[in-house]
Structures are given as C-alpha cells and as structure tokens.
Structure 1
Amino acid sequence: MNSDPTTRPSLLVRLQNSRDEHAWAEFTAIYEPVIYRMTRRRGLQDADAREIVQEVLLSITAAIERFDVDDPGSFRGWLSRITRNATIDRLRQQSARAETIGSSGVARLLDEIVANERLEDEFENDRRRQLFRWAASEVRRRTGELNWMAFWRTSVDGCTVADVAKELGIGEGAVYVARCRILKRIRELVHNRLSE
C-alpha cells in the first residue's frame, strides 16, 4: 500500500457532480467521522462538532467544482484547513461569549489550536483509520461470520490461531486461510479506493 495515500482523482471528479449520491456517500463515510473527531479533540461539544461537520461538508459542496482534481494529494490538506478554520472560528465565537462571563478556558484552548500546526498529520492519521473501518465494514458484509471472527480475533484482538480455532470449532488451517483472505480483501479495497 502506498505510504502517502491520496484521495482518488475519480472520486473527486465524481464529487463535482452534486447528484452522484454514491460518491457523496463514500466521501462522507470516510471523512465525516474524521472531521468530527478533529473538532471534538479541540474541546468542542457534540452539537458544535456536528454543526462544524455540516459546515465543512457544505463548504466542500460549494467549492469542489473549482478544485483541481489533477492534484488529489492537496485535497486532504485543503479539507484539513477548512476543518481547522471552522473549528477556530467556532472557538473564537465561544471565546468571545466566555469573555463576557469571565471564563478564559476557551481562549487558552484556541491559542493551543492556533499554535498546533500538526493538524494535517492528525487529519491524515484519522483518515487512514476511518478508511480501514470503512473497508473492514464493506468486507465484513461480504464475508461469513465465522470467517470474520477468525480474522478479527487473530488480527485485531491478538488471540492465537490455536485459541481461535478451538473457540470457533474449526481447524487452524481454516483460521489462517480466513485471516489471509479477509486481510487481502481489506488491503485491496483500501488500495483501490486510494488509487482509482
């Protein structure tokens, strides 16, 4: 898998068609949780974070037609900046309100965010985790539950193949095969989504 994945140019092209519901569903499945978590980690309440997610998605909807799809690597940076700016704006609003009632906690949080320019790395790490979750969910829907459990218990939970085989009542070879096949499918799906 590419060590520096980018958003697929084909997805960006499809997003430029506001009526392509499948493209927008795929985009939001991957990026909405990333945007939400970034804002929550900055101290925003759930309702504020959800509003920012909607603001960011509306901003993207309004501006995606003008985005240069030939440079998909910059899309993540652009999305990260939009999220960062929306978060800062919301915190500034809260800071102004807090100053009228004498609280400086929001102002300190705002200063920390402005000083922390590592948001793009954080955004990318969240995006990769969310892409794995999405791909795993897609593969799980197409996989039998027994095979999925063999994969999950050995690859994610860290159980031994022997223990999982005994727990599931199948041979160790079947556990290895299930784990290998499912991991391969997840990798392929992630790779396809990143490189199409």
Structure 2
Amino acid sequence: MTAAETRDRLCRALACDLPPSSDYDLNAGKPPPGAGLRGAGVLVPVLWRDGAARLMLTKRASHLAQHPGQIAFPGGKIEPDDADATAAALREAWEETGLPPAAVEVLGCMPVHETVTGYEITPVLGWVADPFDARPEPGEVAEIFTVPLAHVADPALYAVQSRLWRGRERRYFTVPYGPYYIWGATARILRGLADRLTA
C-alpha cells in the first residue's frame, strides 16, 4: 500500500459510524453524563517511514504521579490558551516529542474516549509524511518509539485482561508489541481505530 493509499484509508476510517469508546466498555459503573470530566487531546501520529506506516507512541517517565511508565499517545489536558482539543494535542506532541505542529496533517478526530481517571479524551489522527528530530521531554517522557500501523490495525491481536484497581477487578484491552505493553485507554482508542480500519 502506498503512502497516498494509506492516508486515504485512514480518512475513510474516520468516516465510519461507530460508537465512541470508554474505559467502561468492559466494566460496569459508568458515571452519568456531564459528571465533571476534564477535557484532553491526544495525537495519534501515523508516520510514513521507509515505505510503511508506523504509529508513534511514548513511554511515560517512571517518576510521574499519573500513569508512570505506561505507554501513551503524546497529549494532555486542554489548557485555557488552547483553542480546542486538536490544539492541545499538537502543543503537547511538540512539547513531549519535538514533533512540530506544522509537520502534522490533521486528518480528523475520533469520537471522545472517557477514562476512569476522569478525562474526556479527543484522539486526533495525524499524518506525518516528513522525518523530524524526535526528542523525548525528560520531565515526562522516558522513550519515543514506533509500532507498525498494521500491528495495531489488526483486531485479532487485541486481548482482554484484568487487574485489581481501587479494590475492584477492571477489564481492559491490550495490544502488546515487542517489549511494549500497550494497554488501558491507549489500547482501547487503538482498538477503536482498528475497528474503523477493518469495517
């Protein structure tokens, strides 16, 4: 598949009429609508490198108070100076990974994802055609790495696992790749993309 064909496939995936995702998809106890969720934006950056599409992810620093050591998209909460979730995602990607906003072609947004930790995340799908100098922000990011898009686009590679969280068993999606354990909200958002790509 060429770069143009891959980009067009991603655009078609955004147009699929599938429901939004949530950390509660596999668990009971979803809070009522409007329960004070904080807005956030994350970038789902697809890079075209050496004739193939790869998804860029980060490994969060181990000293962080929230989600230490977890695999995540670059992104964060919407700040007062951000115009919207897309602006927040692009700003955070620049701060965390050195990806210039001008290098990202925003293809569109996937439906919001509600997390059990109180966020309403807007995943922003971005196409990055040209190379850039990736640099992890040492205060937040331990590592920047890429995964073949074909890997996260295959629903068959996802599994459901569980662990205790605040005294209750919680189930979640996983899509491991090599040494990287991709799980939780990141895996659930990626599973939503996989469902759209294969619909």
The structure with the greater share of residues assigned to strand is 2
Task: Name whichever structure is richer in helix by fraction.
Answer: 1
Return the TM-score normalized by structure 2.
0.25
TM-score of the aligned structures, taking structure 1 as reference length: 0.26
